[in-house]
Amino acid sequence: MDGVTYPGFDGFLGTRASLVLDLLFLAMFVVVLVLAWSIIQVKYRRRYQLHKWVQIVLGVVLLSAVIIFEIDIRLHGWEDRAAGQLGGHPAADVWTALYIHLVFAVSSVIIWPITIIQALRKFPNPPLPSDYSGRHKTWASLAAADMLLTAITGWTFYYLAFVR
């Protein structure tokens, strides 16, 4: 931290980021690891029911995270923290990183619910491979890649805005 009193709660990672941003920064590591684990379970161990519930819980957790994050940002902003001073302006590359991140974050918010709802509607219950498998693999691979890129670009934004 740099001695400036920013709006909202400070985080615990020792950077200029807020508490919510620190939690999200760390949560994305957990999300990526759990997602990879869930895909390994379905692909190599055929644990379809486990995969289904892990993906539903991940979807709900991610949606809650987006809502909490939006509230924090609307209430307290982030530009002061990124600039390192009250009333300051973030550097140009911070805005570029944010826009790149938003492409993946916003498309994930669209693709994830589509993937989950379609899988719930089209796979049998309890879930098993079916005619829908091919299309699920297409959407689901896109959804998984989008989430990984959301995490990577999110960490990059965090570093550029609040660490450097």
151 to 3, 53, 57: CA distances (angstroms): 29, 21, 18
What mask of x and - would describe binding to ligand HEM in positions 29 to 68, judged by CB under 6 A?
----------x--xx----x--xx--xx------------
If binding is defined by CB under 6 A, does position 135 make contact with ligand HEM? no
Distance CA 28, CA 89 (A): 26
Shortest distance, position 141 Cβ to ligand HEM, whole Å: 5
CA 65 from centroid of its chain's CA atoms: 8
Q: Please count the other Cβ atoms lying within 10 Å of the Cβ belonging to residue 121.
A: 9
Shortest distance, position 102 Cβ to ligand HEM, whole Å: 19
Residues between 58 and 117 that touch ligand HEM (CB under 6 A): 112, 115-116
The residue count for binding ligand HEM (CB under 6 A) is: 24
DSSP 3-state assignment of 18? strand
Shortest distance, position 128 Cβ to ligand HEM, whole Å: 6
If binding is defined by CB under 6 A, does position 119 make contact with ligand HEM? yes
Of 88, 86, 90, 110, residue with least CA distance to 99: 90
Of 18, 10, 42, residue with least CA distance to 123: 42
Contacts with ligand HEM, residue ranges (CB under 6 A): 39, 42-43, 48, 51-52, 55-56, 112, 115-116, 119-120, 123, 127-129, 133, 136-137, 140-141, 143-144
